[in-house]
Amino acid sequence: MKPYLAGATPILPVLVLTLFFAAASAMAAEDEGGCAPRYRALVEAARVELRGTGDTEVLIVTDPLCWHCRLGHKLVGEYPDLYGRVKVLFLPGRSFLGSDMAAWVIEDVAGTDRLKPLLDFAYRDLRQPKVSDLDEARMLILAQFTAAFPDMLEGTTLPDLFLRLAKEHGPRVAAGAELARAAQLPGTPILIAGDTIVMGYGPEAWLEALAAKSVCP
């Protein structure tokens, strides 16, 4: 099995993508694909987890506002028999201003029965704020969540919730994103299933990687 596969949908402009796959091919010769320590560190850092009915462990590096990530999220939801658990690591894209707030909100409900509805909302209904100020974009993202889930504001206010999420989850999400960059992952989505890494989204490539049921030693 090839440890590095390209999804049908690219995640970078053509020139940069070409250079990246050349680098990825070189790295594949040097390590163990998705089982290499740099990638296992990402699995350990990921706090959000979804359960399936299969046996294997999968990691998705993702951004809720990335369209191709949304397609990947939908596919994973449709094939729970192909994995035992999916761990989610957020890599907020610089072009998706405010998406780190979505990651903070999702991380806040990790391990609870509120995770799936908020996660699905993020990957299905969130709209990209049309602003250039980071904190304004974050507030607009949070406002969309609280409009859909009013109970988020029980006992608090929107500004106070903003500050709490930033304090409790901002550093961890940023640290996970930095790990992803240190592992030379250039963007989202990326699927790591055993020793296979799929760069970008393509349904056939993702299904092939999941169906292989590869596991790391």
pLDDT confidence of 20, banded at 50, 70, 90? very low
Mean pLDDT computed over every residue of the chain: 89
Three-state SS letters, 164-200? HHHHHHHHHHHHHHHHHHHCCCCCCCEEEECCEEEEC
Which strand ranges, in their side-by-side order, compose the sheet holding 196-199? 4-6, 196-199, 190-193, 57-62, 85-90, 48-51
pLDDT digits over 22-61, tens only? 344 444 434 578 999 999 999 999 999 999 999 899 999 9
Model pLDDT, residue 50: 96
Total residues belonging to the chain:
217
Angle at 39 between CA 35 and CA 42, to 5 degrees: 135
Which residues, in sequence order, are bridge partners of residue 58? Answer: 86, 193
- In 3D space, the residue among 25, 7, 52, 3 whose CA is nearest the CA of residue 203 turns out to be 7
CA distance 12 to 187: 8
The pTM of the full predicted model, rounded to 2 decimals, is 0.86
pLDDT digits over 51-100, tens only? 999 989 999 999 999 999 999 999 999 999 999 999 999 999 988 999 99
CA distance 204 to 24: 20
